[in-house]
Structure 1
Amino acid sequence: MGRDTSKQAKKKAASASSECVSKMHDLSIQKIELFKETEGERKARLDEIVTLEKVKVEEVREHCKKMLDIERERLALDKQRFHKEAEKKEKKEDERILAINLDQCLPMQCVYYQALQEDIIQKLMSQRRGPTQ
């Protein structure tokens, strides 16, 4: 192989090598652009997920708040029912005490029930006067 032929072979190899390097450079640029695109898509997806999670948390918070309000209402109703039942029992007991015939009781029972009857009558009188004043 002569000197000219050897130089030509080296030039071809160098140009082929530079073409290969150029192609590799182009491929690496394409790869970087692809990563940039996927990174942008990933960020957009993450932003969407964060937004959905915020909405979900807010809905859960609202649900818990509603459940708490419902529970408070239920407790208030239970309290009212308990007071009404207590008033009913007290009224029934007062009626029973007022219905006792003091003439047929023993003297000690007579004193006891008479005091209870007087207390009941005073309580009723104060309840009637209370709202009018």
Structure 2
Amino acid sequence: MPPHAQNQPVAAMVESVQPAVMKESQGDGEGASVAAGQRRKVGPSRIKLSNFSPKEDVFLVKSWLEISCDPIINTEQKKEGFWARITSQYNNKRGSFHERSFISLQSRWETIKAETSKFAGHMANVLRDNPSGMSDADKDEPKWMELNIRGARPGDDDAIADHIPTADCDLETPSSQYSGSKRPMGRDAAKRQAKKSASSSPLDSSQYVSKLQDLSIQKISIWQEENAKKGSRYEKMAAIESQRYDEVRQHNQHMVAIEEEKLQIMHTKADILQTHEEKRILGIDLDKCAPRLRMYYEKKQQEIPKNIGADGDDSVDP
């Protein structure tokens, strides 16, 4: 079988296994209908939808691939959320077909997956087996070389160049010359070759040492520049903090002066009120007062001159 038979699209694989799946689904449906007829109906029967058509199977497979290959969510989702998204995607693409439920799509997918796995296994067996009259040496014939070159990977330029015959080549070259490209060097062999080349060339070693010295000098210069930048940055931060401290100190001094001025004003107001009260008490006529008030005001009038004399203030005229 030619190698291009291996790359079948998903839709073709689904359509190829559709008859077996439809046959199994129809058999299950007939058995279920007979069993349902034998049982006694208890409640109203639900409307049974028709079997999945090939187009519906294709829609289901496409929906499953789109949701499972989502590069954003990927596998970060639970089973219920995964199939809920598949159901929504399928119902958006179904067109004129019936709307399918979560359980129906999941059951149908299990059937498709099982039949597709069987088909893939049979296809692999067919590809592994040689056709009648063929052998393993037949694949190295020149007529298959062009097909192998077309199917090669983009990075296999050397292999393609080795397989392309030149104009001067003999067309009757044995098939052993087309057996394949040169095997690449392994990891251990590459390491051994690198160590051998490094130890066998003293000039390269001296160049390597000089490069290391240059790199160390560059690192030191970069480190010095970074330290200089850090020092200037720290100096700027210190100047900003000092200026901020001076501003806060001036603000606090200004607030203290304002509070002292407020206290002075309050003391002045209190003195004025006390003076007015003393003048009022000294100006009261005791003969016109009640006996109790007369005793109180008489005592106050006697204390006021004493307080004034003790404070050293001027005498107040009664």
Normalising by the smaller structure, the TM-score range is 0.7 to 0.9
Task: Give the one of 216, 225, 231 matched to 1:32.
Answer: 216
- The structure 2 residue matched to 1:92, chosen from 246, 255, 276, is 276
Does 2:313 match 1:127? yes
Counterpart Cα distance in 2 of 1:128 and 1:87: 14
Q: Which residue of 1 aligns with 2:244?
A: 60
Q: Alignment partner for residue 44 of structure 1, among 228, 241, 245?
A: 228
Number of aligned pairs?
116
Alpha-carbon distance in structure 1 between the residues aligned to 2:296 and 2:213: 106
For structure 1, the 5+ residue unaligned runs are: 1-12
Counterpart CA distance in 2 for 1:127 and 1:118 is: 16
* Counterpart among 107, 110, 115 of residue 294 in structure 2: 110
The structure 1 segments of at least 4 consecutive aligned residues displaced by more than 4 Å after TM superposition are: none
Counterpart CA distance in 2 for 1:18 and 1:108 is 124
- Structure 2 distance, partners of 1:42, 1:112, is 85
Instruction: List gaps (5 residues or longer) in structure 2.
Output: 1-196
**In 1, Cα distance between the equivalents of 2:202 and 2:212?**
15
* Partner deviation per Cα, 1:92-117 (whole Å, 9 max, x = no partner): 21122123221211123222212212
Alignment-derived partner of residue 75 in structure 1:
259
State percent identity of aligned pairs: 18
Q: Shift of the alpha carbon at 1:60?
A: 2.4
What CA distance in whole angstroms lies between the structure 2 residues aligned with 1:124 and 1:31?
A: 92
Match in the other structure for 1:23 = 207
- TM-score scaled by length of structure 1: 0.72
Deviations 1:31-87 (A, max 9, x none): 111101101101111221222222222222212221221122122112101101211
The SS at the match of 1:128 is coil
Measured after TM superposition, the shift of residue 90 of structure 1 is 0.8
Structure 1 counterpart of 2:279, one-letter code: E
Q: Secondary structure at the match of 2:313?
A: helix
The amino acid of 1:63's aligned partner reads E
> Amino acid of the residue matched to residue 76 of structure 1?
E
Please tell me the residue identity of whatever aligns with 2:257: E
Q: Find the structure with the greater CA-based Rg.
A: 2
What is the letter of the counterpart of residue 38 of structure 1?
I
Indicate the RMSD between aligned Cα atoms, in angstroms: 2.3
In the alignment, what sits opposite 2:157?
none
Write the distance in 2 (CA, Å) between the matches of 1:32 and 1:109: 102
Match in the other structure for 2:117: none
Question: What is the TM-score of this pair, normalised by structure 2?
Answer: 0.33
Report how far residue 30 of structure 1 moved: 1.4
Work out the CA distance in 2 between the residues paired with 1:111 and 1:27: 111
